[in-house]
Structure 1
Amino acid sequence: MFAVSLGDGAELRPLEPWHAEEFLSHMERGREFIGQYVGLPDRVTDLESSRSFLRTYADKATADTGRIYGIWTGGKLVGGVMFRTMDIPNASAEAGCWLEPSAAGRGLVTRAVRTIIDWAVEERGIHRVEWVVASENEPSIAVARRLGMTRDGVLRESFLYRGRRYDMEIWSVLAPEWRAARSA
């Protein structure tokens, strides 16, 4: 297993099925905060659903169609980043994230997503990375901006979540833009 330092005592590591108990505890600590715009806490409600969710991503990793990574600080799981989808033949992927309140505001998600985009572009040949975010989720939009993504558009009232319709923004970065920004 690998760990990538994110600075400030934080690290990025693969999040695997054997982390199910720790993942569930993390969801319990951040359930309402994470669940403001992300459906993950609604899917991970007990040990079996936690294990099942992580198994889904282990299967995606095996099929090269997605990945999931945890963010740990001081040995405690506090958030994560993922490629919800990876379409290697079309060289595109959709990145996502979540974080519990205790770790918010420290730049951990930006640094973690930067790490996985570097990997996707340089190692897997991904040309386009998308970021799909509720228009009201200002912290996540700020991450997209810090990563140098471009706002492609808005899908009006496209996401029904907890009985409410949300506008979803699509942000993206293309491999040439990513490389140019990284070398600047």
Structure 2
Amino acid sequence: MFILTVNQDITLKQLDINDAAPLFQLTDESRETLRTWLSWVDQTKTINDSRAFIELASKQFIDRSGLTTGIMYHGQLAGIVGFNLFNWLNNSGTIGYWLGSRYEGKGIMTRAASSLIDYGFKSLALNRIEIRAASENQKSRAIPERLGFVKEGRLRQTEWLYDHYVDHVIYSMLTEEWPSARNSLKPDWKH
């Protein structure tokens, strides 16, 4: 079981089947805002859909192809942050995230993403971490910008979002650019 303490208020933890109901509830109550930028929301119709997501995330963790964590804020599931994809040949990872509507504006995601990035560079010895966000999604883009990521470019019409294509902006951070990762690289998958 992966657990990473961010601070006294926030913990990142690997989801298990017991998290299916709270995950579905959080998704359901945030459906309107999440749907604006996330194409999977309409396919999440029942607790079983959330359970299937958790099972897939567990398989990716075992396969070392991804690391999905629940963001626990004061003991309550507030959102998801994780490495959607690892490229071990090139020592890189791609981070994705979302937050329940009632948890927005508290700095939770910036702190959670920062801790996960720190873990990626220090414990997983990644060289590059990438974040992609829809070009018009200012809240999502604010995370890598706040954390000092470099804006690399724009992927035109790269995602079909219900009834239209959206562009993505790509941000990256290299290990030598991440202040807290310098001189601390120790490969360690289990935490």
What is the rounded CA distance, in whole Å, between the counterparts of 1:82 and 1:10 in structure 2? 14
Q: Figure out how many residues of one structure are paired with residues of the other and give that number.
A: 182
- Cα-Cα RMSD: 1.9
Question: 2:37–2:137: 8 Å Cα contact kept in structure 1?
Answer: yes
- What is the Cα deviation at residue 75 of structure 1? 2.5
Partner of 1:127: 127
Richer in helix (by share): 1
What is the rounded CA distance, in whole Å, between the counterparts of 2:181 and 2:106 in structure 1? 22
Q: Superposition pairs for residues 14-93 of structure 1, below 5 Å?
A: 14-93=14-93
Q: Which amino acid aligns with 2:127?
A: H
What is the rounded CA distance, in whole Å, between the counterparts of 1:73 and 1:136 in structure 2? 27
Partner of 2:142: 142
What is the rounded CA distance, in whole Å, between the counterparts of 1:180 and 1:3 in structure 2? 16
Q: Which amino acid aligns with 2:162?
A: R
Structure possessing the higher relative contact order (Cα contacts under 8 Å, 6 or more residues apart): 2
What is the rounded CA distance, in whole Å, between the counterparts of 2:77 and 2:179 in structure 1? 30
Moved over 4 A (4+): 180-183
SS of the residue corresponding to residue 27 of structure 2 reads helix
- What is the Cα deviation at residue 77 of structure 1? 1.1
- What is the Cα deviation at residue 140 of structure 1? 1.0
Question: 2:175–2:182: 8 Å Cα contact kept in structure 1?
Answer: no
Query: What is the TM-score with the length of structure 2 in the denominator?
Result: 0.88
- What is the Cα deviation at residue 72 of structure 1? 2.1
The Cα offsets for residues 52-102 of structure 1, whole Å up to 9 and x where unpaired, read as 111111011001110111112232211120111011221011001101111
The Cα offsets for residues 137-165 of structure 1, whole Å up to 9 and x where unpaired, read as 00111111111101110011221111111
What is the rounded CA distance, in whole Å, between the counterparts of 2:123 and 2:108 in structure 1? 22
- What is the Cα deviation at residue 3 of structure 1? 4.9
- Structure 1: runs of 5+ lacking an equivalent: none
SS of the residue corresponding to residue 123 of structure 2 reads helix
Change (3 A) 1:55 1:113: same
SS of the residue corresponding to residue 79 of structure 1 reads strand
Kindly indicate whether residue 180 of structure 2 is the aligned counterpart of residue 168 of structure 1.
no
SS of the residue corresponding to residue 90 of structure 1 reads coil
- What is the Cα deviation at residue 12 of structure 1? 2.2
Question: 2:118–2:180: 8 Å Cα contact kept in structure 1?
Answer: no
- What is the Cα deviation at residue 122 of structure 1? 1.0
